[in-house]
Structures are given as C-alpha cells and as structure tokens.
Chains A and B, each alone.
Chain A
C-alpha cells in the first residue's frame, strides 16, 4: 500500500500538495512541507512588475470568521477572509527563491505566476522553468486580481503563450465559477497539462458597530470547509469531461475530504487553510487518515478508486422517484376544525 501518486509525469509521495499562499512563501516552509510528507508545494504567486503594488500587503489582512477555535488540530469550522496578494519580494527574489527551494528540499516545487500581457506571462514562465521549478501554475483566478482582465482574451492568451514557451507542465488555476467546465475545456484545448480547481471566492464582510467594511475596506478572498461542496461539484463535472488531470483544492480539513476529491476524479488535492487553523501537523495527519482508509478498504493504490464515485452518479432522468400524492390525492382541503 502506498500513497504514491503520478502527477504531471512526476511520481510524488502523497496526493496532498501545499497550495499557493502564506504556507509557501519562504524556503523554510518548503522544508516543513517535505518533513510533513506533502507531495509537492505550489509556491506563493509572484506578480509581474506591472502589479508591483500587490507585493505590499495591508495590515491587518487576515480574519478567521465563524471559527470554532479548537486546539490541537480539531478545528472543523471557519471561513478564511483575507487580502494577502502576491509574493512580497521582487521578481529577482522570486527566481532566487525557487532556486533555494530546489536546493534545500527534494519535493517537487511548482512556481506560480500572475501577469496581464502575454509577453509578461511568457517571460516569467521561462524564468520559472530556468530556475528549476518542476511545474508552473498560472494563477488566473485569484480573488484579488483586477476585474478588468477577461478569461477569453487575457488569460487564454496567457495559457497558449506559456504552453508554447516552456517544456515543464503547466497547471491552470481556475476560479470557483460560474463557468468552470467551459474554462477547463479551453485550458485543455490550449495545451494545459492540468487544471487546479478552484481558487477561493471573492467575498465581503461588514462590521455593524463601526458600519464599515472590515479589515482593509475592500472585497477579500473567502474560503473554508463549507466551500468544498461547490468545488466537489466542479471537480465532478470537469472530471467527467476533460482528460487532463485535476488538482482539487478548497476546504480540505481531513483525509476524508481528500478521498472524496479522489473519488470524484482528482489526481491531487491542495491544502492550505487547514494548516493555518490546525497547524503543519495537519499534512501528516491527513496522509495518515488516507492510509487508514486504504487499509480498511484493501487498496494498494489510490488509482483503484480515482473517479469511482463518478461512475455511480445517477443522471437526473434516472433518479428513482416515488409519488407523494397517490395515497391521498392533492392536499388541497382544509383540515377539520380549522374551518371557520
């Protein structure tokens, strides 16, 4: 029995990846991820120089809403509301960062970039490849990205440009809606090696005492365990249609969630906010929970169950239905005693 998973031509030790964010912002965290037996790590997204302002962060910028605040890794409920944007250093720092990650850790490192013009995307992607990253994720769906950039123009050009310019696998990280499946298909047609489903939503919260938006005063990224049910639907929909692998991400708290995503056809699962509320140990705990499940089900490899739940899906016209009315007829009469 083994958690070994094949993803983008690499054999990784676990299907659990660390998602791009504050847990992948420095070299020491890459080492931590490796110690925890994470399969790979997606580094914090670097923005092109045009978005240099996104390298500076408002303070404060994190809020855990509706948090049950348990200790020792037992938190089950929270919403992570935040506005941390891109990697905080310059691009030169980022190239050096990728190199250092490769030097000090053996787990695969996925670079993550954001830009607008296709030339910037391509230049950055080439540098990510030169610096030794094992793959590259195009973060086209950040909840903090400028709203003026459209998928059909800017980001499709970015995908085609980058795919043509690098030889390492290209992951495309898509937003949580509304058109996830069509975007998956476009990413696939344009040569993406995999899709990451889904980014966090863009949300908003207001404080009723001060009567102002909380934190920095603008929309923020929002996600949490509740969001996994939306993502599971998107993963299921995509897995039935596209042939490229899916890296699922969103609201994963436990091994159970990872197994659900794999049953719905995901190849790997990215986690982040669970590390935030339940600590780095979460990675090891989740790996252990998957192993326990595999043992209980007699599985040698997760490949045996990948997409299994999709085959058991019932098309809407085959859902078994029973009449609720045939016994009595329509309930259109007043109950006795209720009449005036």
Chain B
C-alpha cells in the first residue's frame, strides 16, 4: 500500500501487510535515529531504551526490547525523523493470536 504523502508518514495509518500472519513489533532503523530521547519516556510498556553505539553519528540510538514491545505504535508517533518500521514477530508463531498468552511478571518490583 502506498503511504506517500499520507497525513501519517511515520506510523502509516494502516497496520503492516504481514499483520494477518505475524504480530508486528516496532524496530528502530538505527541509521535514521537522531538520539533525541523522545521515545523511551513515551513507551508505556518499558520496551524502549537508549543504547550506546560507539560508531553511530550520535553515539547512541533508541532500541526496542522485543519481549516488552506490544506493537501499540506510540513510538512511531514520538519520532521526529520516522526512524521506526514494523517487523514481524516470528517468535509467537504464525496466525493472529486468539487470546493473550499468559506472561510471567516480575512482581518483585
């Protein structure tokens, strides 16, 4: 689908094409990231951190923790340079999930 000139250039208004087969996860395109620190505080699921990248122009980039990412799309909103893309989460297995998997939570805080 073309999203050229769309009102929503970053997130793209529609889910990625592979969403019928795999759940989407956010992925940072490190070359595009400008280390502005905008996305980690926006993430409600503790899935975004800043990581050191000694060879990167800005020495740091945002990084998505796959285990925490719920594919909600808020980080796409935060990004001023559209450095996010979707990637299929193949760890869950093919087919849309019928019910949320029970996840282990750390209740120790």
**Is chain B found bound to chain A in the same assembly?**
yes
Interface residue tally for chain A (C-beta within 8 Å): 45
Question: How far, in angstroms, from A55 to B97 measured CA to CA in the complex?
Answer: 11
Contacts of A90 in B (CB 8 A): 100, 102
Cα distance A93–B24 in the bound complex, in angstroms: 24
Contact B99 A25 (CB under 8 A): no
Distance in angstroms between the alpha carbons of A67 and B80 in the assembled complex: 12
Chain B 1-26 near chain A by CB (<8 Å), digits 1 or 0: 11111111001011100010001100
Across the interface, which residues of B come within 8 angstroms of A64, CB to CB?
Answer: 74, 77
Known pairs A59-B23, A104-B107, A279-B41; A207 contacts B73 (CB<8 A): no
Contact of A209 among B6, B24, B46, B74 (CB under 8 A): B6
Contact A209/B102 with A60-B72, A67-B77 known, Cβ cut-off 8 Å: no
What is the bound-complex CA distance between A29 and B1, given in angstroms?
37
Q: Mark B32-71, 1 if CB is under 8 A from A, else 0.
A: 0000101001101110000000000000000000000011
Count of B residues near A, CB < 8 Å?
Answer: 40
Q: A59-B15, A59-B23, A60-B76 are in contact. Are A209 and B2 (CB under 8 A)?
A: yes
Secondary structure dominating the interface of B: loop
Task: Assess whether A60 is in contact with B80, with CB atoms less than 8 Å apart.
Answer: no
Q: In the complex, are the beta carbons of A210 and B2 less than 8 A apart?
A: yes
Q: Which residue of B lies closest to A88 (CB)?
A: B100
Contacts of B76 in A (CB 8 A): 60
List the interface of chain B (C-beta within 8 A of A). Answer: 1-8, 11, 13-15, 19, 23-24, 36, 38, 41-42, 44-46, 70-74, 76-78, 80, 97-100, 102-103, 105, 107, 109
9 further interface pairs, Cβ-Cβ under 8 Å (given A22-B72, A28-B109): A59-B19, A59-B71, A63-B8, A90-B102, A104-B109, A207-B8, A207-B14, A276-B42, A279-B41
